[in-house]
Structure 1
Amino acid sequence: MGKLGEDDCSSLPQEHTWLGGVQIGEGGFGTIHCWLKVDQNQNVIDRMVIKDPHCSDDTKEPPAYRGIYEELVRKGMDFGINPDRPGHATIDERFFREAYLQGLMTDNSRPFSAATVSLRGFKKGHLDNITSKLDGSQKLKTHWRIYMDLLHAGDLKNLIERHIAGKNGRKDPIPEPYIWCVFTCIAEALVQLESAVQARPNARQQQDEVIALMDMKPPNILLQDKRGDRYPVYPKPLLSDLGAAHVLYKEDPLQNRDVRGHYFHGATSGFFAPEMWKDTNYGWERGIDKPVYSWTNIWQAGRTIECMMRLRVKLDHEKYSLVCDDNSRIKEDPPRIEGFPEFRYSDDLIDLVWRCQRFEPEQRPTPTQLLELIRSRAPKHNRGMDEWGNATWIEKREAASSQPKTYSEVLVSSASSNLDFLDGYPPDLAKRYRQLNVSLPMGWDLAFYGYKDPARLNTRARIPPRKPEDPYAGVKW
């Protein structure tokens, strides 16, 4: 292979120039860089994020994933094959679990219905000798590249941290309507994690397969700044980082730690469900002898929502080294925000978070049941924020603008004047909203609506200096 940046550039459309190499993330998974596609005047016409993980897994496709690669080829997501002969790459050389699962969840025909971060494509690189950060040992691992849209707005962890900092040095509780918004989006994603894998070609229907995420947490839920019709003033959360996810069923041999090739429990401390194994100072431990399944996704969803309610980026168990060994205590100890003695989230929300974190997996709702429960309860607590600011709402306000304001509308107009959410609106809708001169209801605005777009489309590209020590810095520019 040639140089990574040059080789990758050759598999992308060539009518314009891709500028790359700006590092925007790093972790145990590898590195993440941002690339910009510019025209002859250096104006941005497209953006892309490239993730560079190294993986020691076999590149031969396992039976559990049979049928997914053909879907990825049909969607044009394998950037390493000849585009004139799609599907002629050898499957034995193409399997990368993270790309398979992310691509399976991607439906580019319905962009606003996305529940996970969409995959543009993936590509296999060469073997690299990678040094372990734990013991200094070296091991050959395959270098992969995953191509995705740029989501610049940040993640749920950033949002929680901004509410912890608050205004005037005082914590600000996250508005309950936004928590229902996030809960709804997560539940919809969990339903799709079941339906997508069970509807794929060659699915093992009799085993009732699911995609177990393993590592759902606030940093792995990215914020999309584009506004849709539902909860339009709030950034939409999308599940990301399927690197720890697996296709499993209840009686799957991979559930057994004594079986060669068993799956890796890639959770973070504080997010280990009772049924998940954790390597602790005392050996391998778990809270209950049950398989990892959809109910594990449900548990981590409840834990993530509880983090939002308590303004914590993670919640440790009673003993930091152990997995969860009890139900959530959110009913006995409901979230309290310093400086807001009278503040309390609704019993409906608290009860649902508690249900998701039941110790016994069978006592948790299924993804479909969770979504139905959310949809039945959320309208009582949304206060209209699920529609506030969408196109229909703006039209109704425009039609009534000549009428005298009601008392409630006068109160609304004196509330928060924060209009940061309009950055994600289509320009025409943003202009019409501003002309209405209507502010968000008191207490329903966020402290953080996402970071500003660093490379807006149709603006001149500004590329910061490349880090010279970064081995995956992309193309020359």
Structure 2
Amino acid sequence: MKKDKFAYLKRDAKAAGWQASLPLGSGSQGSVSVWIKTNANGQISERIVVKDNYDTDWEICSPLKQFSEDKLLPMELGVLYALKHAKANAPAGSLISARGLVNDPTPTILSHKVDKVLKFARCHLEYCPYGDLAEVMATHLEDGGAFPEPFLWCLLSCLADAALLLQQGHLQRALQGWRVIVHRDIKPENIFLGPFSSHEYPLYPVPKLADFGLAYVVDPAEDTTGLESRGTRNYLAPEQNGHDSMPLCTQTSTYGIGITLMALMNLDRETGRNIDWDSDQTPEFDETGKQYTEALRGLVSQCIEFDVQNRISLDTLRARLEELTAPGNEDKSSGFRRMSAENISSWRNGPHDLKLQPDPYRLRMSFAMSSDEDSGDGEPMTDEEESEQGEEPTKGSEETDDESMED
């Protein structure tokens, strides 16, 4: 079945004018590929992510119809369009915040296609060049190196912004008619790394919270306690895990943020797995996690309090982040939040940099198409292969905005 799904993607990519469709991953309900266009010189000129969903029982996004335009869209598409609508007046890749322009912490949907009879949905999304945090975590584990603390401050800030967007549709005010959205599946696998930052923490690619397939839109008139457990076991908040006395709410997303940070700090994906919620137990830092500053550990711990009422609010969390990473002697980000452009190269590949795999489909990279024109396959060329063709290997690339397509 997986082969058939990717075959459809290759066929559709060619029909839409893309030179290749290459698989990124698949699951029981769908598949994800990257579509590639090349220029006259055979170099990659455009990339998008294409996500297909074959779920036969999706939840529709009717509570978001004011912002998603189509109330019958599956939840993930509805949330992505609602967020796109909410961000419409901000510069590309940015959001307007009380602290100025900040990086957009969620991916942008470009277009979509839905077959409501067959229950098939496809969305075209911006391409995130550096994979997800689970992949980066695996690299750090292999190399025996902890995540650099400045990146964790960057991540916490981006996830707090993403959660506030889901709560009210804007970083400075609540949009009229907006419904609170609870992600329900925040984890390293659902946080992707986009282009390098242009506003804050410029040493790092921008973390983007993605995969809204399990999102829940809160109806103020309905009771959200005792809902069916949805999400990933290690990252479930108590109210997602059988505690019927507590409601599903924004603080559920706050817990997801906290447990994700703790897992990365511990370098242990099992951090939240064996918790005895009946004894009001909460996850703990191990010896690796305890190496980080008390300020960072304290904020993360406040995110994962057992009782939703005791968890730190998003307003307080964002205010504390602003205070703790402000320029000066007490800056817990060690100057990385406001690093000047001329200082970036001196820190690249140093102890505070992330251990990233190279972008496998970077712009201007030479791309060798399959000899079978109908296959939709191909692969990036190595530097040696480029040299053999008389071209200089491409060492880097600019990130450009992807264009929307017509389906």
Same fold (TM over 0.5): yes
- What letter matches 2:66 in structure 1? G
**8 A contact 1:44–1:460 mirrored in 2:** yes
- The CA distance in 1 between the partners of 2:157 and 2:82, in whole Å, is 21
Cα–Cα, structure 1 residues 59 and 218, in superposed 2: closer, same or farther, change >3 Å?
closer
Residues 1:336 and 2:326 aligned together: no
1:178 aligns with 2:154: no
> CA offsets, 1:56-92, max 9 Å, x none?
3478763x1221233xxxxxxxxxxxxxxxxxxxx57
Which residue of structure 2 lines up, in the alignment, with residue 96 of structure 1?
Answer: 74
Aligned-residue offset at 1:351: 1.3
Matching of residue 148 in structure 1 with residue 125 in structure 2: yes
- The reply on whether 1:386 has 2:359 as its aligned counterpart is no
SS in 2 for 1:444: coil
Q: Which residue identity does 1:69 align to in structure 2? A: S
Change (3 A) 1:61 1:328: closer
Partner of 1:460: 366
Q: Quote how far apart the aligned CAs of 1:228 are.
A: 1.5
Greater C-alpha Rg: 1
Change beyond 3 A, Cα 1:68–1:475 = farther
* CA deviation after TM superposition for structure 1 residue 344, in Å: 1.9
2:324 corresponds to 1:445: no
Contact 1:317–1:323 (CA<8 Å) still a contact in 2? Answer: no
CA distance in 2 between counterparts of 1:256 and 1:384 reads 42
- Alpha-carbon deviation of 1:358? 0.7
Distance 1:337 1:7 in 2: 47
**For 2:11 and 2:377, how far apart are their aligned partners in 1?**
6
How far the C-alpha of 1:105 sits from its partner, in A, is: 1.6
Q: Is 2:271 aligned against 1:315?
A: yes
AA matched with 1:47 = R
Q: 1:30 to 1:323 in 2, by over 3 A?
A: farther
Contact 1:327 1:358 in 2 (8 A): no
Which residue in 2 is equivalent to 1:114? 104
- Once the two structures are superposed, residues 268-292 of structure 1 have per-residue CA deviations (whole angstroms, 9 ceiling, x without a partner) of 0111111114xxxxxxxx1351110
Q: What is the Cα deviation at residue 317 of structure 1?
A: 3.4
Give the conservation status (yes or no) of the 8 Å contact 2:200–2:337. yes
60 and 274 in structure 1: CA distance in 2 versus 1, 3 angstrom threshold: closer
- Three-state SS of the structure 2 residue aligned to 1:25 is strand
Matching of residues 330-409 of structure 1 within 5 Å: 330=284, 334-337=285-288, 344-379=291-326, 380-388=331-339, 390-391=340-341, 394=342
The residue type paired with residue 230 of structure 1 is E
The residue number in structure 2 matching 1:271 is 235
The answer to whether the 8 A contact 2:147-2:265 is kept is: yes
SS at match of 2:154: helix
CA contact (8 A) 1:276 1:292 kept: yes
8 A contact 1:36–1:44 mirrored in 2: yes
Residues 67-216 of structure 1: matches in 2 within 5 Å? 67-70=66-69, 91=70, 94-106=72-84, 107=87, 109-112=91-94, 113-125=103-115, 127-128=117-118, 142-166=119-143, 171-196=144-169, 202-203=177-178, 209-216=179-186
State whether residues 217 and 300 of structure 1, in contact with CA within 8 Å, keep that contact through their aligned partners in structure 2: yes
Distance 1:347 1:201, change over 3 A: closer
Q: Is the 8 A contact 1:105 1:192 kept in 2?
A: yes
CA distance in 2, matches of 1:179, 1:18: 37
On the 8 A contact 2:129/2:362 being kept in 1, the answer is no
SS in 2 for 1:229: coil
* Counterpart code for 1:295: Q
Indicate the RMSD between aligned Cα atoms, in angstroms: 3.3
The offset of 1:122, in angstroms, is 1.2
Aligned 8 A contact 1:67 1:201 in 2: no
Deviations 1:84-111 (A, max 9, x none): xxxxxxx57x522111101222336431
User: How far did 1:305 drift?
Assistant: 0.5
**Which whole-Å deviations, capped at 9, do the CAs of 1:134-187 have from their partners, x for residues lacking one?**
xxxxxxxx1110101221311111122122112xxxx22212111111111111
Identity fraction in percent: 22
- Whether the 8 Å CA contact 1:44–1:461 is kept in 2: the answer is yes
Cα deviation 1:31-54 (Å, max 9, x = unaligned): 111111234443322111111111
Residues 241 and 329 of structure 1: is their aligned pair in 2 closer, same or farther, counting only changes over 3 Å? closer
Is the CA contact 1:222–1:238 (under 8 Å) kept in the aligned structure 2? Answer: yes
2:209 to 225, 239, 245: 239
Would the aligned equivalents of 1:181 and 1:231 in 2 still touch at CA under 8 Å?
Answer: yes
